[in-house]
Amino acid sequence: METTVRGRSAGTGSRGGHGREHQHIASLCDGKVQSLAEIAARMKLPLGVARVLIADMAADGLVAVYEPTSFENNDAVGTELLERVLSGLRRL
């Protein structure tokens, strides 16, 4: 759900073969990062449908997909990220 997606604005290749949903997603995350949940909500699509569309676009190189960080493992990466979250919240 909180997997993030960023459009690849290089504009290479033809978009002729892509449907309206793909174009809508491309415009939503053009130059900015959006989560799967945000894209689904803004397009009024169920999460699962948005997930499939984005996977197609990722396969075609139209978007970059970034997995969220999991905090289930007690590793240093998670701790460092938690510290970033904490200082970010304090700055708000």
Least Å distance, CB 91 to other proteins, is 9
SS3 string of 9-23? Answer: CCCCCCCCCCCHHHH
Contact status: 12 vs other proteins (CB under 8 A):
no
**Contacts to other proteins from residues 31-90, by CB under 8 A:** 31, 33, 35, 37-38, 40-42, 46-48, 64, 66-72, 74, 78-79, 81-86, 88-90
Can you tell me the distance from the alpha carbon of 37 to that of 70, in angstroms, rounded to the nearest whole number? 17
In the bound state with other proteins, the residue whose beta carbon lies nearer, of 59 and 86, is: 86
Sequence-separated (6 or more) residues with CB below 8 Å from residue 44: none
